[in-house]
């Protein structure tokens, strides 16, 4: 007679449980007593055989025998609907290879409802259900562990923390499987110490193909009186919290950078204004034709440096959202100016295909700059990941009362299965190198401006990010702003500028336009000039920062108090476009601003605008 025949001939049911809490053997008597056939039980969790006993003392007894090897006898309800009310006497012993052998028989086929045993079993069942409900409904991950780290139970959140496995499949596995090798010793020591004292642990859980999850946990012994303690591992997944902290730190660094840039912007833009002005004047000098090319390079590079400073200021500025007419071609130029060095290093050629007569869109310039920058950075990273040279094309065209902008790259494209997830917050294909926020932020910004954004792969390889924005209803025709218009009437100008080089450069450009120019460098000199009999000026170019004791706004207030209306002829000039004080004062004065550095055409257009009325 073989072993199976011997088991099947017994009157008692026999079950063999493997170390992973699955049923390895199930005798014929076991099937008869519980009304559960072998093919339904073998290979499954032990709780298929004893569903009513999960979370009760039987589970703890099984762990005790598995731990110390001492046989134990226990009473438990059978629990299946077919044998409801049946109480089993279960003898538990430990066999080879940490298998447990359970021999069980009915104590009495049916218990009378009024019997003491029935009442005890009913109370036991109520306690079991309460425990299961509390454990399962915890909003944080919870595991029940042995001191060696073996998982005895897990609630749904705990199963999700460990990669979404079913709780039954986790039983018998060791928690250190999920910890990096460098942290396994620390975790094992923490579990041992938790037998006598509560432990706080911080560690990472790793999953194949997914970013590591940062976890903080409390470990306490919830059964200290037994020989085999039970540890409750209450965890908190702080991965997103850590990410948000990193973003806050980055925002703080950007704020500090903004303050730094604000402090040096004026010092940078003033000499740039002088260089650009003298370079342009030299390029227009008919008797210096051999120097025209060099002078034009000086002028254009000074203006480019000024645009880069302005772009940095715009990104660092903290201000309410605004809705105004935005030239997308200018935005694209600014973004590529910022990215020129990075793109060149990555062997990426970037081009802009935006017509000069493309209508302005209605939106926020700073936010559109961020949207365009995110698009170019993502495209550049996609190309750089291929290890090959590539190309980025920024294009724009008019649609029905909208402007469509596309940013194409020659990278590998976006996998089709995740194409509809690229705008989800915190979803990233760059592992630890990405935050998953760039496109999500851009998507929200475009929607906030009344537009829409989408992503698609292009035929032949690469990806295309598209966004569409409404045309600004009041935007002037771009052609009407074209340079090279003839100068208007001769004007009498007063330039109030504290820096000598900038003052001379402004006078040089104004004279090039055919205007009569008077220059002064201090507040007192300006008030003296304006108080002279017969003094008449069509426009006053006033620097925001004058001498140590006065600003351009002091001159504005002085003229307004005089009551002759001269304050309405002021054009403020400034290289400081970020400080709160300057911005607020400009808004209160409600006067036009000429930002340094500026070109001959910028000065011409501003003077025409101020003197038009």
Torsion of CA 355, 602, 337, 359, to 10 degrees: -30
CB 149 within 8 A of CB 142: no
Q: What percent of the chain has pLDDT over 90?
A: 23
CB 582 within 8 A of CB 573: no
Task: List Cβ<8 Å contacts ≥24 apart for 429-432.
Answer: 430/381, 431/211, 432/211
The pLDDT value recorded for residue 403 is 93
**182 pLDDT higher than 50:** yes
Digit-coded pLDDT (tens) for 78-125: 666 555 556 788 899 999 888 999 999 887 545 565 666 566 666 666
- Please tell me the distance from the alpha carbon of residue 431 to that of residue 212, in angstroms, as a whole number: 10
Digit-coded pLDDT (tens) for 386-406: 889 999 999 999 987 899 999
- Please tell me the distance from the alpha carbon of residue 561 to that of residue 530, in angstroms, as a whole number: 13
**519 pLDDT higher than 90:** yes
Decide: helix, strand or coil at residue 71. coil
Neighbours of 71 (CB within 10 A): 10
More confident residue, 543 or 613: 543
**494 pLDDT higher than 80:** yes
Digit-coded pLDDT (tens) for 440-468: 878 888 888 888 999 999 888 899 999 99
Decide: helix, strand or coil at residue 486. coil
- Is the preceding omega at residue 597 within 30 degrees of 0, hence cis? yes
Ranked by mean pLDDT, the top range of 64-68, 310-314, 546-550 is 64-68
CB neighbour list of residue 423: distance below 8 Å, 6 or more residues apart = 439, 440, 443, 453, 455
The pLDDT value recorded for residue 484 is 39
- Rg from Cα positions in the chain: 39
CB 516 within 8 A of CB 493: yes
The pLDDT value recorded for residue 262 is 62
Q: Residue 485: pLDDT band by 50, 70, 90 thresholds?
A: very low
CB 215 within 8 A of CB 205: yes
Residue 539 pairs with which residues in a beta bridge? 493
The pLDDT value recorded for residue 477 is 42
Q: Residue 409: pLDDT band by 50, 70, 90 thresholds?
A: very high
**578 pLDDT higher than 90:** no
Instruction: Give this prediction's pTM.
Output: 0.42
What DSSP state is assigned to residue 451? -
Compute the mean pLDDT over every residue in the chain, rounded to the nearest whole number. Answer: 81
The whole-number average pLDDT for the span 469-475 is 78
Q: What percent of the chain has pLDDT over 70?
A: 79
Q: Are strands 516-520 and 492-496 parallel, antiparallel or unpaired?
A: parallel
CB 262 within 8 A of CB 313: yes
**479 pLDDT higher than 50:** no
Decide: helix, strand or coil at residue 588. helix
**Kindly report the CA angle at 308 between 367 and 330, in degrees rounded to 5?**
55
- Please tell me the distance from the alpha carbon of residue 81 to that of residue 102, in angstroms, as a whole number: 21
What DSSP state is assigned to residue 220? E
Of 205-214, 216-225, 431-440, 502-511, which range is least confident?
A: 431-440
Q: Residue 542: pLDDT band by 50, 70, 90 thresholds?
A: very high
CB 457 within 8 A of CB 416: yes
- Please tell me the distance from the alpha carbon of residue 238 to that of residue 215, in angstroms, as a whole number: 6
Residue 103 has φ and ψ, to the nearest 5°, of: -110, 130
Q: Residue 604: pLDDT band by 50, 70, 90 thresholds?
A: confident
Digit-coded pLDDT (tens) for 356-386: 889 999 888 878 888 998 899 989 998 998 8
The pLDDT value recorded for residue 465 is 92
Neighbours of 381 (CB within 10 A): 18
The pLDDT value recorded for residue 93 is 94
Decide: helix, strand or coil at residue 551. strand
Tokens of residue 270, six digits: 């003033």
What is the chain's length? 613
CB 572 within 8 A of CB 261: no
More confident residue, 282 or 152: 152
CB-hemisphere CA count at 13 Å for 337? 20
Digit-coded pLDDT (tens) for 249-299: 666 665 666 666 666 666 777 788 888 888 887 777 766 666 777 777 787
């Amino acid at each position: 007679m073989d072993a199976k025949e011997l088991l099947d001939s017994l009157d008692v049911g026999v079950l063999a449980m493997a170390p992973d809490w699955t049923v390895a053997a199930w005798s014929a008597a076991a099937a008869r007593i519980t009304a559960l056939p072998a093919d339904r039980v073998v290979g499954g969790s032990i709780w298929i055989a004893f569903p009513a006993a999960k979370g009760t003392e039987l589970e703890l007894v099984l762990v005790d025998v598995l731990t110390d090897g001492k046989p134990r006898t226990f009473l438990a309800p059978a629990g299946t609907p077919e044998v409801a009310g049946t109480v089993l006497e279960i003898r538990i012993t430990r066999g080879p290879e940490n298998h447990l052998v359970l021999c069980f028989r009915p104590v009495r086929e049916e218990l009378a409802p009024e019997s003491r045993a029935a009442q005890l079993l009913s109370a036991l069942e109520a306690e079991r259900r309460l425990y299961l409900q509390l454990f399962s409904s915890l909003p944080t991950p919870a595991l029940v562990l042995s001191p060696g780290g073996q998982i005895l139970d897990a609630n749904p959140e705990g199963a999700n923390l460990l990669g979404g496995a079913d709780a039954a499949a986790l039983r018998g596995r060791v928690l250190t499987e999920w910890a990096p090798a460098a942290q396994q010793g620390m975790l094992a020591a923490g579990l041992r110490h938790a037998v006598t004292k509560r432990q706080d642990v911080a560690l990472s859980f790793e999953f194949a193909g997914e970013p590591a999850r940062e976890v903080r946990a409390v470990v306490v012994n919830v059964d200290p009186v037994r020989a085999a303690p039970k540890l409750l591992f209450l965890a908190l997944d702080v991965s997103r919290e850590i990410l948000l902290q990193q973003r806050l730190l980055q925002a703080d660094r950007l704020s500090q950078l903004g303050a730094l840039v604000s402090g040096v912007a004026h010092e940078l833009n003033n000499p740039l204004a002088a260089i650009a002005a003298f370079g342009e004047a030299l390029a227009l000098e008919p008797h210096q034709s051999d120097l025209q090319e060099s002078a034009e390079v000086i002028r254009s590079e000074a203006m480019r440096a000024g645009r880069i400073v302005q772009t940095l200021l715009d990104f660092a500025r903290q201000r309410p959202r605004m809705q105004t007419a935005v030239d997308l071609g200018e935005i694209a130029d600014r973004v590529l100016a910022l990215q020129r060095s990075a793109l060149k290093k990555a062997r990426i050629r970037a081009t802009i295909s935006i017509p000069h007569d493309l209508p302005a869109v209605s939106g926020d310039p700073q936010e559109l700059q961020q949207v365009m920058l995110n698009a170019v950075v993502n495209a550049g990273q996609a190309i750089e990941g291929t290890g090959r040279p590539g190309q980025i094309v920024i294009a724009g065209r008019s649609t029905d009362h909208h402007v469509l902008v596309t940013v194409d790259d020659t990278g590998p494209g976006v996998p089709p299965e995740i194409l509809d997830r690229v705008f989800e917050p915190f979803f990233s294909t760059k592992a630890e190198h990405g935050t998953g926020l760039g496109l999500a932020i851009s998507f929200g910004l475009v929607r906030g401006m009344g537009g829409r954004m989408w992503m698609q792969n292009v035929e032949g390889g690469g990806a295309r990010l598209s966004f569409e924005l409404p045309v600004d209803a009041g935007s002037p025709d771009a052609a009407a702003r074209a340079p090279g218009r003839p100068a208007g009437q001769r004007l009498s100008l007063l330039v109030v500028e504290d820096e000598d080089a900038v003052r001379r450069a402004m006078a040089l450009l104004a004279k090039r336009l055919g205007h009569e120019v008077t220059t002064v460098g201090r507040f007192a000199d300006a008030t003296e000039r304006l108080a002279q009999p017969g003094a008449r000026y069509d426009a006053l170019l006033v620097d925001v920062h004058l001498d140590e004791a006065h600003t351009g706004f002091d001159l504005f207030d002085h003229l307004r108090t005089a009551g002759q209306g001269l304050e309405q002829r002021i054009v403020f000039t400034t290289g400081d476009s970020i400080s709160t004080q300057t911005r607020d004062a400009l808004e209160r004065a409600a006067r036009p601003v000429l930002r340094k550095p500026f070109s001959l055409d910028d000065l011409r257009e501003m003077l025409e605008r101020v003197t038009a009325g």
